Amino acid sequence: MLNDINDMLRSAALIMCCICFYTHAHSSLVDYSDNAPYASEAEKSMPFGELPYLKKPFIDLSPESKNDLITIGEFGKDGGDPKKLQKLINGLEKQALGRYDSMLIAHHGKLVFESYYLRGRADLPHRQASTTKAYLSFAVGRAIQLGYLNMSDLNKPIASFFKGLKPAKFAAGVENITLHLAMTMRSGLRISKEQMTSLKSNPINLKGKNQVQAFFETTAPISNQQQTFHYQSLDPILVMQVLNVVTPNGARAFIRSELLNKLGIVNFEWRDDISGLPMGAYASSMLSRDMLKFALLTVNNGMWQGVQLIPKAFVEKATQKIVPQKDRDIFFTGDTVSNASYGYYWWQADMKVGNKSYSTRSAQGGGGQYVVLIDELDLIVVTTAHERNDQTMKVIAEKVLPIFSS
């Protein structure tokens, strides 16, 4: 009996030594907090800009399973350099890379790194800025999957989707604006700030589909030469209007029930435009984990939990190169990020690590809201931030890719 007890004690001691050795060897990479940061009741009603910074970051290399349809992994099991990861963590902690609120990394389809800083909260939807456009793009794809639109409709004039408009009052060239052009920021619409202020002074002119009529009347004449890439809010507003008219219960109900809820996204916000429809260009808010779901949906060519939510052909078209960009005109390019282009509200660019280049697809929002896919490495990076000098693509190229590309 005594021998049995001694054997048990020796075994326990050995296990503890192994645990201590593992913890010491990985001490710089263990969790910084026992629990992910959740918003207090007071914080849930605060404006984003008033949220207090976290007292300490939360970093998890073996994220918690939350039954939210995200597969969980553990950093290092399927690759990843811990020393390079530590350099990334140090930079995020010290705000040397920018004022990030969260960074999530998925590798081989599994969430292996989840972290929150500053104003990041695990349960508080983070404002998305222009990343909203990518979600709108996939809502159009969902409408195609369900038969409310088809792929050929992408080349139809936007005006043809509406009944009761007054084409006689349209500016010249409006009839040539298609969904394809509006979803690549090439509608050609040009409405000055003064004209827009005038329109907003009588809001009834912008309610419902009156907004479409007002835009088509007010714009400067449109020629083929003018239908070049021009980043503005008008184009996604038109696309939201089309989505609203082709779906049975309107755009808001459709986005909620047929896209977001299908992905298990229930904790979100999406503010209305003056028209009464959800804002097409920005104004959504999502959890960081829910942002990751859009990347996973993309990686799986529109398939989610065994169901084809979005046609594969649409996902491929939306996220691949359609409109080449000049590097000097795009803020995120540089020595390690180049060859930018644009799809249906999704960006593309090449990232360079040493002598190797990787193509990327990304949804991007000003201030650091990113969903970035590096397909060759089966890698996804999600960030939220409140950084005026946004360098997220550079950060990913120089600090994240080397962790998984060596």
Distance CA 345, CA 298 (A): 13
User: Token pair of 134, please?
Assistant: 């990518």
Q: What are phi and psi of 100, to 5 degrees?
A: -85, 140
pTM for the structure as a whole: 0.92
Tokens 């009839």 -> residue:
175
* CA distances (Å), origin 34, targets 56, 60, 63, 144, 284: 11, 9, 11, 44, 30
CA count, 13 A, side-chain hemisphere, 329:
9
Q: Is the dihedral of CA 398, 401, 403, 406 positive or negative?
A: negative
pLDDT at 332: 73
SS3 content of the chain, % helix, strand, coil (to 5): 40, 20, 40
Is residue 23 scored above 80 in pLDDT? Answer: no
pLDDT, tens digit, 9 for 90 and up, residues 376-390: 999 999 999 999 999
Mean pLDDT, residues 222-229 taken together: 95
**pLDDT, tens digit (0-9, with 9 covering 90-100), for 184-205:** 999 999 999 999 999 999 999 9
Question: Residue 258 gets which letter from DSSP?
Answer: I
Considering the chain, what is the average pLDDT of its residues? 92
Say what percent of the chain tops pLDDT 90. Answer: 88
pLDDT in tens, 137-189: 999 999 999 999 999 999 999 999 999 999 999 999 999 999 999 999 999 99
pLDDT of residue 108 exceeding 60? yes
What pLDDT is attached to residue 345?
Answer: 98
pLDDT at res. 114? 98
Q: According to the model, what pLDDT value does residue 30 have?
A: 46
10 has pLDDT over 50: no
Q: What is the dihedral of CA 19, 25, 27, 30, to 10 degrees?
A: -70
Structure tokens at 247: 């779906």
- Rounded-to-integer distance, Cα 377 and Cα 358, Å: 8
Confidence band (pLDDT; 50, 70, 90) for 307? very high
Under CATH, which number does the domain 131-286 receive? 3.40.710.10
Q: Where are the alpha helices (DSSP H) in 219-311?
A: 234-246, 251-254, 288-299
Burial level of 55, CB count in 10 A (0-12/13-18/19+)?
exposed
- At residue 333 the predicted structure's pLDDT band, cuts being 50, 70 and 90, is confident
Mean per-residue pLDDT for 222-250?
97
pLDDT of residue 20: 35
Query: Does the pLDDT of residue 341 top 60, yes or no?
Result: yes
Q: How confident is the model at residue 4 (pLDDT cuts 50, 70, 90)?
A: very low
Average pLDDT over residues 227-254: 98
Domain parsing of the chain, residue ranges:
60-122, 131-286
Assess whether pLDDT exceeds 80 at residue 327: no
Confidence band, pLDDT 50/70/90 cuts, at residue 326? confident
The dihedrals phi and psi of 380, each to the nearest 5 degrees, come to -130, 135
Give per-residue pLDDT as tens, 26-80: 334 544 546 899 999 999 999 999 999 999 999 999 999 999 999 999 999 989 9
Assign 117 a pLDDT band (cuts: 50, 70, 90): very high
Q: Residue 144 in contact with residue 304, Cβ under 8 Å?
A: no
